Structure 1
Amino acid sequence: MKFILFIAALLIIFLLAYIVSNNKKGIKLKPIIIMLILQIAFAFLFLNTEIGLTVIKGISSLFTHLLTYAAEGINFVFGGIANEETSPFFLNVLLPIVFISVLIGIAQYFKILPFIIHYLGLLLSKVNGLGKLESFNAVASAVFGQSEVFISVKKQLPHLPEHRLYTLCTSAMSTVSASILGAYMTMIEPKFVITALILNLFGGFIIVNIINPYEVKPDEDIIEVQEEEKQSFFEMLGEYILDGFKVAIIVGAMLIGFVALISMINHIFDAIFGISFQTVLGYVFAPFAFIAGVPASDVIKAGTIMSTKLLSNEFVAMMDLAQISDTLSKRTVGIISVFLVSFANFSSIGIIAGAVKGLNEKKGNQVAKFGMKLLYGATLVSLLAAAITGIMI
């Protein structure tokens, strides 16, 4: 049954992408098939093999140690604020982002990350049917995040046509930044975080190849990565420490606003209609949860979590999932966990448009113009990843 659902899910997802395609005759099937096979292979590796389990355990152990080291700094500054045996979200989930941001800065400073991003991007460009710049940007997005990644390609921004800009933005919204992987792993199982990261990388290429297919001429496909101004090692440390803290504060502020807003809307709906707003949205998203492989008994709850992520962000949805996970099947928890690991939500439209506009106002306005289509494509990427997870667990 689950394989029949998977085929149905693929047909529906691809049809939804095809409907809004800006060049239906230009869709290339070969790279789509290759990347779909790669997605299935990686999902099987990470979710159903001893090798994948070993890799996941290794990555999970690494982040566990990193979070332990981060806790040393957090306890030094904030020790005594939290009551004994309590686990404040801001201290335990968000503030470790500061330390992981520092490690990313060190890897960037010593040219480790640029090397990996450059050559992994070149390798991906051989199979995804897109340009080298698009491939580089997709890998960089998974490291730097949806706003910071555009700094690395700001020299190209003024010269990029709208269709290539859409691809870059889709990659940025479909992936997540390395600095918050540790935060996710404190909320959902690490194996689903890593699986989603890989699936979304390829899934972004698949959906873009349907919604936004095009050819890149060799003379247009040049990677000139923006070099950062040369800093001393300790200047770099200071910058990345502050950047990490800003991310933690921004995520915390958004959580306060979104959780409070959703609570108010739920209360109003409950008072007027006798049902919460999130439950209403749960019914809307229930069919998508079902085709992704969620058991029929869980589709309303799963749809509610999916809609919460779209309207607010993945952190709010992960917190809601944690509260009801005991009432859901393990299969449902796995499918929805993978769906949640991306930046595909309404607030990301403003974040990405603002980041691009800060570098080039004209291009930022273009991003704002296709913002809804961008969210539409990135959501299909998450749904595709969830559907593939559904046949593996």
Structure 2
Amino acid sequence: MVGIGILLQAIFGILITKVSFVASVFSQVSAGFVKFLSFSEQGAQFIFGDLATNSFGFIFAFQVLPTIIFFSTVSAGLYYLGVLQKVVFGIAWIMSRTMRLSGPESLSAAGNIFLGQTEAPLLVKPFIPTMSRSELMCLMTGGMATIAGGVLAGYVAFLGGDDPVEKTRFATYLLGASIMNAPAAIVISKIIIPEEKDRKIDAHLDISGEVPDVNLIDAMSRGASEGLRLALNVGAMLLAFIAVIAALNYLLSGIIGEFLGLNSLVVSSTNGTFSGFSLEYLLGQVFRLFAWVIGVEWKDTLAVGSLLGQKTVINEFVAYLGLADMKAAGTLSPKSIVIATYALCGFSNFSSIAIQVGGIGSIAPGQQGNLSRLGMRALLAATIACLMTATIAGALF
């Protein structure tokens, strides 16, 4: 299983980067995805007027958050029509046959490519109460190693800016990373907690047919409401975390750095990449070695290490905002930008442990203890999976 999983990950990476026909098709899919997301601008302009255009510069609340609402609406409609389930079933069938996984493991891993870490488990809701520890580990790791379609749309919006070519490029990276992370998550989770030898593996694929909506309009209305909640949560989360980071940086840079003379030392030693003794600088020092191991040029390791640290300690949204700033400032080389984009593509942060324990635990209260005990291991496994994908992407760049 381990060898096949890594092989699947590598083959997909080679196909989308080195095989011209496949790369062209995937690029067209990404371009279509970007065009699809652009439709949200029409709704945003109707509600917010010129605030949703570039006339006032980039305004996150009016240009990124509406994209999340729009994508959530369409996803709910596709789920009601059964389209999303068919795509998930096809990917799950491939994983089940090639990696000898149980049906619920395959379905949840495939579902995580498109859905969030609390939505994908609903595909296998009837099976969660009887899952083994290994299957639960696989479920949790898959959720943390991938990202939901709604937030992926948000990342494309602010990483690509207002340039359609750049949006298509980052859509290709993010879609590729989400797909490649699925087999990687399975591999690492099975290495950490293998399945019991005497347990019979049921490879039967059976997606839960539970659809909470009465018709397509009801489904899309629910999707819009859920998208609004997600967008508000993202906005509130960013507001809170960025404010907390600013407060910590005032303590570190404005007081400690000034008193000990560390700010000028940091600025000179990093050639201005960091403006002083800050949380971002400290995280960069802690995670610098990991950035180097996955193939980042040494001169960029401190900056990319800082992004890896922000993703793990805070969340990937804050990290991607940092990457967008570094990209705009020309801080990183093109290869480092690619590696960082792949490495940050996942929900592997400490808050995800609580999200999954609460979300999946509400579906299967009897598994609450196992979920809590597996949380840190799943976070470790998901982080390694994301770094594996980034390493392959860097090697193929």
Q: Which residue of the other structure, out of 306, 309, 312, is the alignment partner of 1:307?
A: 309
User: Whose relative contact order is higher, 1 or 2, with alpha carbons under 8 Å and at least 6 apart?
Assistant: 1
Structure 1 match to 2:269: none
Residue matched to 1:269: 252
The Cα shift of 1:194 comes to: 2.0
Whether the 8 Å CA contact 2:85–2:207 is kept in 1: the answer is no
Task: Check the 8 A contact 1:117/1:136 in 2, yes or no.
Answer: yes
Give the structure-2-normalised TM-score: 0.86
- For 1:1-393, list aligned pairs within 5 A: 31-81=1-51, 84-188=55-159, 189-215=170-196, 216-218=199-201, 223=206, 225-270=208-253, 271-273=255-257, 274=262, 275-325=277-327, 326-393=330-397
Q: Could you say what secondary structure the match of 1:225 adopts?
A: coil
Mean Cα displacement is larger for which, 154-163 or 345-354? 154-163
Residues 102-134 of structure 1 show CA distances to partners (whole Å, capped at 9, x for unaligned) of 221221111112122223212211122321210
Aligned partners of 2:34 and 2:171 also within 8 Å: no
Q: Which runs of 5+ in 1 are unaligned?
A: 1-30
Length, aligned pairs only: 363
Change (3 A) 1:108 1:335: same
What's the counterpart of residue 10 of structure 1?
none
Answer whether contact 1:151 1:226 (CA < 8 A) is retained: no
* Paired residue secondary structure (2:56): coil
Amino acid in structure 2 at the alignment position of 1:339 = A
Distance of 2:315 and 2:31 partners within structure 1: 26
Give yes or no for contact 1:47–1:191 (8 Å, CA) kept in 2: no
Question: Cα distance 1:60–1:122, how it changes in 2: closer, same or farther (>3 A)?
Answer: closer
After superposition, the Cα gap between the structure-2 partners of 1:159 and 1:356, relative to the gap in structure 1 and judged at 3 Å, is: same
Deviation at 1:385, TM superposition (A): 0.8
Cα deviation, 1:191-210, whole Å, max 9, x if unaligned, reads 22122112101111111121
SS of residue paired to 1:154: helix
Once residues 128 and 169 of structure 1 are traced to their aligned partners in structure 2, the CA distance between those partners, rounded to angstroms, is 18
**% identity of equivalent residues:** 29
Contact (CA 8 Å) 1:153, 1:226: kept in 2 or not?
Answer: no
Secondary structure (helix, strand or coil) at the match of 1:143 reads coil
- Return the offset for 1:303: 0.4
Alignment RMSD: 1.9
Q: CA shift at 1:375, angstroms?
A: 0.8
Q: Secondary structure at the match of 1:217?
A: coil
